Structure 1
Amino acid sequence: MPDTSADTRDKVGLVRAISVKERSSSQRKERFHVIQAAAGILSKDMKALVVDMKVCWSSTYMMLNRAYSLRLHIKQFLLEISRVEKNVAKAAKLLSLRPSEDEWKCVKVFQQILAIADQAQQLFSSETHPALHLGLPALEDLHASWTTFQAKLGPNSRFYDAIQAGLDKIAEYYDKTGDNDAYVFSILLEPSKCMYHFDKHWSDTLCNEVLKLSKNIKRFERVNVSGAVAATIKKANKRRYSAALAALSTDNNDDGPIPPITTARTCGPTEALEPWEKEYQKYLELDEDIPEGMSTVKWWGLNAHRFPTWASLTCDYLAIMATSVSSERAFSSAGITITKHRNRLKGDIVEALQALKCAYRRDLFFHDIGPSALTEEDAERDEEIPEGVEGSVNEKDTVVSIELELDSDAEEEG
């Protein structure tokens, strides 16, 4: 319970305490629904309060968002449960939980601040597509949006110092990305962006540093000479991008034509390009429309023959997760698989079961067969069958047999 007698009360603590009270029993949940029904809310639109968790991202934002949208019902709810409380002291504490109008205004402002962070977090929290290339842009957008919001509130706002602390933390983590080349290469390997993001948001000095870093990849020479796919990345000195973050404009619109290739990126007319440089330049000067809805992985699968060296780099960088969301869900799913009846499963079996579960839930077992020599032969054979004899085809020709080999654990459970 927060201190309700203090001059300045903890607004988040108040909302959290109210949410806990509403969810503490089925009777209180039912009472909260009855209050909403009396206000004319349909049954399908009724909502319950939520409680934030330290291990759940954006849960505090969702808790405040839900409570603010139901603030009128919360006032009536606290009034009713205090009336039925027999203990006078407890009833007084329940009534003291009611936030004032000014406190609700503070909750709204804090909700808006967290909404900006939630939007940035959702931007690169994908578990089905590569998202590391969105990491730097998300931090840049978050820094710019919070800076604008901080200026709007003014230095006298009680949230001013809190936002500044958040901006300092963003700058710290943004600066640490200079120690790892993966963030830069993940953006370079996004065909719809490539150098566009750096040209728009970074200085010419940092853009040239990105180009220098990409040229230090020795895989260009190795793939063109021996076809090997192992990479040796030349470690550059630690790069610091704080200046780029501080110089970002609040205009976050990335729409518009991609700027032309600068002269710093191209060779002069008299310079002779080495074999690996031809592919290097060809990709950086790429100017083509990416079909809407086509994923980065699919695009590289279709264009790997055009840029074999760049495509080999995608195997290393596109698989890097931007967040731990997908791995955390995998651990949670594995926890459901391993029960007291299946507590002797080894790691490889659990891994296979997780892959099987994913394939089943995403309907990956059955899909349309693409064109191939085999399907063309079947089509030609069907055309040769005379009319009226289609029924003579033996049914056993269309039967598909699936054999499953059970391991010892499954046999014991059966």
Structure 2
Amino acid sequence: MANSAEYSLIANAIQKGLNNMGKYYEKTNNSDIYFVCLVLDPNYKLVYVESHWSAVEEEWEVGEYEWYEITQVFNKYYEAPPMLPTMDAAMPMKVLQGVRYGQSWMRDAVTAHQAADNHMHDPLQELSSYLTLPLEETDNIVVWRGLHSLQYPTLSHIVCDYLPIQGSAVPSECAFSSRGITSTLRRNALDHGSFLGSHPGPPELDRTGPRQHYLRQKN
């Protein structure tokens, strides 16, 4: 289009627009922020990616590369649960009041079982559970994450680092501020001064310029 004779008069402007689009496209392409924020959204997870993104390389099946990418991010944040201390025979036993016969053996068995569970725990269980559960519709990702912070502790940690990033996604920016509500749903409940005081709007239009002068003459 920029090289077409039909658009020769505005070819320079078209080229600058293409360059600007390319600049932001490269920023998006070279960062995992947008992808991670999409996966962290319980409205989408990996469903949109698997449906509309093609495989990056031939050896990757659709969805496999995206799963690999999100696991790399998850592994950076994952912290293994602390190992429970084993019962040392040399350590003094704490005498509990009301302990019945055989209860100490039962406690030792439970402790050993918990230690084995921690050792055999799949580090990706939390991520797998989140991605395999059905999608959930929510208008506020932050509130949803807060309600599920104990269920998904590692993902909640990732959310705290990724979603507040400016420009990561317009919905996440609105979720971290009241503008997403006050500028739409509740705007009618605020007078003009209160609304502009809370959220400064765009500067006043210049009504003295040539175009405004032309409109006044025309009217």
Please give the range of the TM-score, normalised by the shorter of the 2 chains: 0.3 to 0.5
Query: Which protein, 1 or 2, shows the higher relative CO under an 8 Å CA cutoff with sep ≥ 6?
Result: 2
What is the TM-score with the length of structure 1 in the denominator?
0.27
What's the TM-score once normalised by structure 2's chain length? 0.47
